[in-house]
Amino acid sequence: MENVLEIIMIPAVLAIIKIMVIILLFAMPLGTFLTLMERKWSAMIQDRVGPNRANIGNFTGHGIMHIAADGLKSIFKEDTMPKGADGFLYLIAPFFGLIAAIATFAVIPIAGPIGNFTFQVTDIEPGLLFIFAITSLSVYGAVLAGTSSNSKFALLGGTRASAQMISYEVFMGLALMGVFMVYGTTRVSGIVDGQNEYWFGSLIPMWGVFTQPLGFLLFFTALVAETKRAPFDAPEGESEIVAGYFLEYSGMRWSAFMLAEYVSLVGVASLITTLFFGGYHIPWLHLWENAPQWLVTILQIIKFSVFTLFFCWFQIQLRWTVPKFRFDQTMALGWKKLLPLSLINMFVTAFVILAFA
């Protein structure tokens, strides 16, 4: 028993276990679940029933079997490659987006540390800069898929995706500058702990959404644009360029694109929770002085999950509410409105901190 504990406590082994737990028990199941929920919830919004036919025996579970049906279908479907496609790039492109989406979870803590043990794969000093680096990697998935498919629609989609993601990355970073300044660190655990403090005694928690409301709006918009979902889904643009950059894909590779979209949806939701809604910290819990540690940890995981699920739902709700931006509108909004706003937000934050702190 002690030997097993010793092996587990080797940092590398521990990191691998955490990766498996967070990804296999949190990110991927939630992402897969959302592929069904997107259809189910959109049906509710539009007064429909949604998928409810897949079954084993008589069990349909309100459509939950569709997850299994979709998975089986995409595994057995033919994996086609268009004539003249760039073979190697075409084959690896879908997994860029997926890897980038999954890697986001490396720095997100899902509960407070117990002693030396943290509920976070790694708490590196650059923290959020790592996330910026990773999200910009996901551009490659779209661009490589677009260029290697040997299809003009896919190429157009890839071009749009690269232009959009690169422009929105600019102020995604700038919007977070305010958060860095307020909490004085780029380390994710530092930002989360900074949000555990209170204004006016213990009245209002210093959540990012209260200290940086404009920053929250800008960052959320940028992240939605990064995931290429409505209203920023011009790269996919069903009505004009068929399906955009992953037009030529089929079978499991197409599913990898879809899964990447939903995992990055979960990633966005957990990032928003972590940076702007106190992460795992439950407000006013410090008033309960002798709370048992295990209960606090469980409550923290629940709080984090609930907020993450809420923002997943919110993004889906957003997608089925707003119409798509035309591509030039996407660009105009990004460069002409949101970029100046994020600069103003940065300067105002800096001024306030200088003047009052």
Site residues, other proteins (CB under 8 A): 41, 43-49, 52, 217, 317-318, 320-322, 333, 337
CB of 334 to other proteins, least distance (A): 13
Question: Is 312:219 a contact under the CB 8 Å cutoff?
Answer: no
How far is it, in rounded angstroms, from Cα 155 to Cα 143? 8
Measured from the CB atom, is 60 or 250 closer to other proteins?
A: 60
Question: Residue type at 184?
Answer: G
Neighbouring residues of 145: CB distance < 8 A, sequence distance ≥ 6: 90, 93, 94, 154, 158, 245, 246, 249, 257
How far is it, in rounded angstroms, from Cα 254 to Cα 160? 19
CB of 230 to other proteins, least distance (A): 12
Question: Is 195:208 a contact under the CB 8 Å cutoff?
Answer: yes
CB of 161 to other proteins, least distance (A): 22
User: What are the tokens at 15?
Assistant: 């990191």
CB of 195 to other proteins, least distance (A): 24
Measured from the CB atom, is 174 or 333 closer to other proteins?
A: 333
Measured from the CB atom, is 35 or 186 closer to other proteins?
A: 35
How far is it, in rounded angstroms, from Cα 34 to Cα 12? 31
Question: Is 344:176 a contact under the CB 8 Å cutoff?
Answer: no
CB of 326 to other proteins, least distance (A): 14
β pairing state of 117-119 and 204-205: unpaired
Provide the strand spans (E) within the chain: 111-114, 117-119, 198-199, 204-205
CA–CA distances in Å: residue 332 to residues 217, 230, 284, 338: 17, 16, 42, 9
CB of 108 to other proteins, least distance (A): 26
Measured from the CB atom, is 48 or 326 closer to other proteins?
A: 48
How far is it, in rounded angstroms, from Cα 297 to Cα 276? 20
CB of 314 to other proteins, least distance (A): 9
CB atoms under 10 Å from CB of 88, counted, come to 10
Question: Is 263:98 a contact under the CB 8 Å cutoff?
Answer: yes
Measured from the CB atom, is 52 or 150 closer to other proteins?
A: 52
Measured from the CB atom, is 202 or 321 closer to other proteins?
A: 321
Question: Is 128:276 a contact under the CB 8 Å cutoff?
Answer: no
CB of 265 to other proteins, least distance (A): 17
